[in-house]
C-alpha cells in the first residue's frame, strides 16, 4: 500500500528542487537556447534538464511507476497502475520572455485518476499540494476554493488560443459574454497555476481548450480537493487527455459551464 501523505511530502521537495533549478537558470537565460516544437510551442534545454532531474528523483521514490512527460526525455509508459504526469516547466513562454510566473507540475496517477498533485509556482515560492482524500494545501496551510456565488463578483482565468484556432469564434463569444458580467478575465500563461489559484480562491474559475495532460493533471486534483468542481467542455469528468477544462468553485460552476457550452456550441 502506498503511503500517499508521505509520498506527497517527498514530491513537494522534488518539485521545489526542480523549481530552484529553473529560478537559477532564468537568471542567465538567453534566446539562443530556445527552439520550436511546433507553432508557438517553445522549448529549451532548461525544460529538458528540469524534466530529467524530476524523472530521476521521482524514480527513486516510486520505482514501479511509469511516466507521461511533456518533453519525452524518458520512455512514456502509462499502462502501469501508477504513473507520473510531469510538466517540468509550465509557462515556458513566460520563462523565455523573463516573466517571473511559471511552475513545475507533478501528478501521480493511479488507474488513470490523479491521486497526488503538486504545483510549485517558482516566482512566488508557492507550493500547492494535494493527495486524494487529504484536502489541498499551499505551503502547508489548508486552502479552499472561493465562497463567491455570483459571476459579477468573480475573477476568472483563461488561456488564449495560440496554436489551435478551431475554437476561436466560440472562445471570443465566451469572452464577450463574460467581460461585462465578471470583475475581469486573466491570462497568466501557466495552466497549472491557473488551477492552483482557483484551488486557493484567487480565481473563482478557469477555462481553456487546447491543453495537454501535463498542463492539468496535478491542478485538477488541487481544485477537487479544495472543494471545487472540474469538467471538460462536454460536461464530462475531465480525464486528463480531454484537452479542455472548466474548473471553478461551487458557486459559479453552473453559470460558467452554461456560457461555455452555449458559446462553443456544445450545449
Ligand atoms: C502552456 C501553459 C499555458 C497554456 C498552454 C500550455 P507550456 O504550457 O500552461 O498557460 O495556455 O495551453 O500548453 O507550454 O508553457 O508548458
Ligand atoms: Ca505545460
Kindly report, residue by residue over 56-100, the tens digit of the pLDDT: 999 999 999 999 999 999 999 988 899 999 999 999 999 999 999
Give the Å distance between the CA of 83 and the centre of ligand 2: 17
- What pLDDT score does 43 carry? 87
Ligand 1, atom 8, lies closest to the CA of: 90
Q: Among the atoms of ligand 1, which is closest to the Cα of residue 191?
A: 9
Judged by its nearest atom, the ligand closest to the C-alpha of residue 105 is 2
Pocket of ligand 1, candidates 103, 196, 211, 242: which has the most ligand atoms within 8 Å of its Cβ, to mutate?
211
- What pLDDT score does 42 carry? 87
In the structure, which protein residues have their CB atom closer than 6 angstroms to any atom of ligand 1?
Answer: 70, 87, 90-93, 159, 189-191, 208, 210-212, 215
Give the Å distance between the CA of 21 and the centre of ligand 2: 17
Give the residue from 107, 95, 132 showing the smallest Cα distance to 54: 107
Whether residue 204 is predicted with pLDDT greater than 70 in this model: the reply is yes
Helix (H) or strand (E) holding 106: strand 103-110
Kindly report, residue by residue over 217-238, the tens digit of the pLDDT: 999 999 999 999 999 999 999 9
Q: Among the atoms of ligand 1, which is closest to the Cα of residue 215?
A: 9
Residue 2's pLDDT band (cuts 50, 70, 90): very high
Q: Give the residue carrying C-alpha cell 471545487.
A: 228
Under CATH, which number does the domain 4-143 receive? Answer: 3.30.540.10
- What pLDDT score does 1 carry? 78
104: its cell numbers: 513545475
Residue 34's pLDDT band (cuts 50, 70, 90): confident
Spatial separation of the C-alpha atoms in residues 114 and 93, rounded to whole Å? 26
Spatial separation of the C-alpha atoms in residues 261 and 181, rounded to whole Å? 17
* CA 88, chain centre distance (Å): 11
* Residue 139 neighbours by CB under 8 Å, 6+ apart: 125, 126, 127
User: Where are the domains positioned within the chain?
Assistant: 4-143, 151-264
Name the fold adopted by 151-264.
D-Maltodextrin-Binding Protein; domain 2 (3.40.190)
Spatial separation of the C-alpha atoms in residues 51 and 73, rounded to whole Å? 7
Amino acid at each position: 500500500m502506498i503511503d500517499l501523505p508521505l509520498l506527497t511530502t517527498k514530491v513537494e521537495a522534488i518539485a521545489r528542487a526542480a523549481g530552484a533549478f529553473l529560478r537559477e537558470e532564468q537568471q542567465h537565460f538567453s534566446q539562443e537556447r530556445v527552439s520550436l516544437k511546433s507553432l508557438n510551442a517553445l522549448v529549451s534545454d532548461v525544460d529538458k534538464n528540469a524534466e530529467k532531474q524530476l524523472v530521476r528523483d521521482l524514480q527513486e521514490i516510486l520505482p514501479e511507476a511509469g511516466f507521461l512527460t511533456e518533453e519525452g526525455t524518458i520512455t512514456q509508459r502509462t499502462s502501469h497502475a501508477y504513473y507520473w504526469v510531469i510538466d517540468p516547466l509550465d509557462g515556458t513562454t513566460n520563462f523565455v520572455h523573463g516573466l517571473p510566473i511559471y511552475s513545475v507540475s507533478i501528478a501521480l496517477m493511479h488507474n488513470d485518476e490523479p491521486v497526488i498533485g503538486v504545483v510549485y509556482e517558482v516566482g512566488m515560492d508557492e507550493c500547492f499540494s494535494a493527495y486524494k482524500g487529504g484536502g489541498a494545501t499551499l505551503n502547508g496551510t489548508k486552502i479552499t476554493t472561493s465562497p463567491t456565488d455570483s459571476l459579477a463578483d468573480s475573477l476568472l482565468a483563461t488561456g488564449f488560443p495560440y496554436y489551435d484556432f478551431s475554437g476561436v469564434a466560440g472562445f471570443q463569444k465566451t469572452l464577450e459574454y463574460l467581460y461585462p458580467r465578471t470583475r475581469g478575465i486573466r491570462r497568466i500563461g501557466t495552466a497549472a497555476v491557473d488551477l492552483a489559484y482557483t484551488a486557493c480562491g484567487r480565481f473563482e474559475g478557469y477555462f481553456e481548450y487546447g491543453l495537454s495532460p501535463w498542463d492539468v493533471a496535478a491542478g485538477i486534483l488541487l481544485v477537487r480537493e479544495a472543494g471545487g468542481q472540474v469538467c471538460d467542455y462536454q460536461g464530462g469528468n475531465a480525464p486528463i487527455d480531454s484537452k479542455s477544462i472548466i474548473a471553478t468553485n461551487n458557486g459559479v460552476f453552473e453559470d460558467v459551464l452554461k456560457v461555455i457550452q452555449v458559446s462553443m456550441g456544445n450545449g
